[in-house]
Amino acid sequence: MMPPPIDAPKSSKRLDPAEVSLAGRRILVVDPSQSLPRALRGVQGASITIARLAMIDAEMLARVSPDVVLAPLFSPGHDILDLARLLDRLGYQGPLRAYSPPLPNTAIVCAEVRQIWGGRDFDILEVPPSWN
């Protein structure tokens, strides 16, 4: 049985464990910082694969078959735009979620990513500072 579709939020949302329904999902977390894996600790039944950006290729995506890809907005050496370009080249069509501390204007960042990501599902999850 397939898990229900992942919500396609209209704008960024603050990451709240009560709202995040990732149970039963196949989640690919790319170059995680400490904040999101800590937030995922309470998620039951999810299959979480952690990978470096350099590890992601067509074979890996086929093997993991993620329901959602999560990555920090900024990582040492790359950002979510680099990941979006790579996933686009590899034909990934699923949801992409960036996470970051609260931003002053997520709409600007989302607009930039959507130039690469097109009409596919993208959003930024804001991780409250208390989760760090």
How far is residue 51's CA from residue 126's CA, in Å, rounded to a whole number? 21
Is residue 37 scored above 70 in pLDDT?
no
Q: Please give the model's pTM, rounded to 2 decimal places.
A: 0.78
Q: Which residue from 61, 129, 62, 56 is spatially nearest to 99, judged by alpha carbons?
A: 129
Quick one: three-class SS letters along the chain?
Answer: CCCCCCCCCCCCEECCCCCCCCCCCEEEEECCCCHHHHHHCCCCCCEEEEECHHHCCHHHHHHHCCCEEEEECEECCEEHHHHHHHHHHCCCCCCEEEEECCCCCHHHHHHHHHHHHCCCCEEEEECCHHHC
99 half-sphere exposure, CB direction, 13 A CA radius: 25
- How does pLDDT run across 65-124, given as a tens digit for each residue? 999 999 999 888 899 999 999 999 999 999 999 988 888 988 999 999 989 888 889 999
Whole-number pLDDT of residue 29 = 92
Q: Say what the pLDDT of residue 122 is.
A: 93
Residues above pLDDT 70, as percent of the chain: 72
Does residue 2 have a pLDDT over 50? no
pLDDT class of 34 with cuts at 50, 70, 90:
low
